[in-house]
Amino acid sequence: MVGQVCEQPLTVPRRPWEVGLVAFEIARRHRFHEEMATLPPDVTVHVLPAGASYGRGPDLSQLRYRDSSRVEEYIDRARTATTGYLASS
């Protein structure tokens, strides 16, 4: 769930630790929408896709901030998703 603005719908938490993750994501999304609402009407914002792959439930591996083994994979997925988005715009 970390790092996703609107790409994935929230799911009902099934485990105790997922409650905290969902609560954090709700707060983060609320803040994002609050900030977007304060932009002047003549400003166009493009929210670039992260290219995240979604499985079942939250991806807790994203919380392992010291694990850099998949950074290149995340960068490649984001680059591919962003390139596709920009090509279609």
pLDDT in tens, 52-65: 765 555 566 666 67
The pLDDT tens digits of the residues spanning 4-25 come to 556 677 888 888 888 988 898 8
Tokens found for residue 70: 């998949």
Q: What is the pLDDT of residue 43?
A: 95
- The whole-number average pLDDT for the span 72-80 is 90
Q: List, as one string, the DSSP characters of 16-85.
A: HHHHHHHHHHHHHHHHHHHHHHTS-TT-------------SS--GGGG-TT--TTHHHHHHHHHHHHHHH
7 in a domain, yes or no?
A: no
Q: What is the pLDDT of residue 74?
A: 83
Count structural domains, the chain. Answer: 1
Domain that holds residue 54: 16-88
70 in a domain, yes or no?
A: yes
Q: What is the pLDDT of residue 10?
A: 82
